[in-house]
Amino acid sequence: MLEIRETGPQALVQDLGRPGHAAIGVGRSGAADRAALRLGNRLVANDSHGAAAIEVLLGGLVFVAHRAVTIALTGAPAPATVDGRPVGHHTLVTVRAGQEVRLGPPACGLRTYVCVRGGLDVPPVLGSRSTDTLSGIGPEPLAKGTELAVGPEPAAWPLVAVAPVPLPPVDTVTLHAVRGPRADAAVDPSALVRTVWQASGETDRIGMRLLGATLETADGGGSLPSEGLTRGAIQLPPGGEPVVFLADHPVTGGYPVIAVLRDADVDRASQVRPGQSVRVRFT
């Protein structure tokens, strides 16, 4: 069992979400950076690469392990210590019973994943242990005193000690997209790729607003009949500032989707910090 002592701005349980319920208004949710969640679960050799882990926004998490656990930290490289001793990122970390794990603020990226061998065993809701911040479905956000059960040891043993994967960039992030179903709703869709955007402070698990230009809409900024949304959809609301939807996006929306990020690039978009520069490239 892990006992939460402190959280930073936000710490949530996340797995790969609950796809399949959009028709009743329930979105998929799940880890914002799914590649990081999968990597961490691979490192600790969990049977499911979608086992539930802790998603930590900008560090600040402190927990005590009440039994020995093997963990791996992925995503934003929050400097971590076990009983004060620094431990690595993207690697296996052994935590003995009673030891305290502490995450500092990462130098780049937004979200760190604390993946635990055995996975976090909180009660699933509609087939997932993810907290959906839009609908409120799933476990409560972690708070001081939250106790998290850890699932049984998987049969497989970790085969890789370190994963050499790049860290989220500190400077401009380039995100690859394709034209969306309503690309023509923008008078000049190529303005999306010409502009050096800045991620707004209004960035959360639902979406990220891009600042730096306003895209003119062909019909004067009207809405259209509601259409399904995905994570990675870039929507153009009447104000003309594009919004990139992330893990907890609404299931349907009434403004045109002018571009859609490649699935892998949504993970990278989820690590963009407020104020960071963003470029969009059509592939």
Partner 1 sequence: MRVLPYGDSALLVETDDVLPLAEACRSGLDGLLDVVPAARTVLLLAEPGTDLGGLRAAVETLEVAAVEAAEVAAVEIPVVYDGPDLADVAALTGLSEDEVVAAHTGTAWRVAFGGFAPGFAYLAGGDPRLSVSRRETSRTKVPAGSVGLAGEYSGVYPRSSPGGWQLLGRTDVVLFDLDRDPPALLQPGAEVRFVARDS
Smallest distance from partner 1 to CB 136, Å: 8
Q: Tell me if 280 contacts partner 1 by CB under 8 A.
A: no
Q: Which is nearer to partner 1, 262 or 279 (CB)?
A: 262
What is the nearest approach in angstroms of partner 1 to the Cβ of residue 25? 4
Burial environment of residue 46 by CB neighbours within 10 A (0 to 12, 13 to 18, 19 or more): buried
Minimum separation from the CB atom of position 124 to partner 1 (A) = 11
In the shown chain, the binding pattern of residues 1 to 20 toward partner 1, with x for contact by CB under 8 A and - for none, equals: ------------------xx
Lookup result for tokens 């790049």: 166
Residue 252 lies near partner 1 (rule: CB under 8 A): yes
User: Which residue, chain included where needed, has tokens 């926004």?
Assistant: 57
Binding residue count for partner 1, defined by CB under 8 A: 36
Residues β-bridged to residue 91: 162
The yes or no reply on residue 225 touching partner 1 (CB under 8 A) is yes
Sign of the C-alpha dihedral computed for residues 54, 69, 59 and 8 taken in this order: positive
For residues 258 and 189, is the Cβ–Cβ distance under 8 A? Answer: yes
State in Å, rounded, how far the first CA of the chain is from the last one. 45
Binding status of residue 218 toward partner 1 by CB under 8 A: no
Nearest to 10 by CA among 195, 245, 187, 247: 247
Q: Does 38 bind partner 1 (CB under 8 A)?
A: no
Q: How far is CA 212 from CA 195, 269, 273, in A?
A: 7, 17, 15
Q: Is residue 50 within the footprint of partner 1 (CB under 8 A)?
A: no
Cβ distance to partner 1 smaller for residue 82 or 126: 126
Residue choice 233, 246, 247, 272 for contact with partner 1 (CB under 8 A): 233
Q: How buried is 82 (Cβ within 10 angstroms: 0-12 exposed, 13-18 middle, 19+ buried)?
A: middle
Beta partners for residue 280, in sequence order: 175
- Assess 24 for contact with partner 1 (CB under 8 A): yes
Q: How many CA atoms lie within 13 A of 265 on its CB side?
A: 21
Q: Taking CB under 8 A as the criterion, which residues in 168-187 touch partner 1? A: 177-181
Question: C-beta of 258: minimal distance to partner 1 in Å?
Answer: 12
Give least dist CB 74 to partner 1, A: 18
Residues that bind partner 1 (CB under 8 A): 19-26, 28, 125-126, 135, 137, 177-181, 225-230, 232-233, 250-253, 257, 260-264
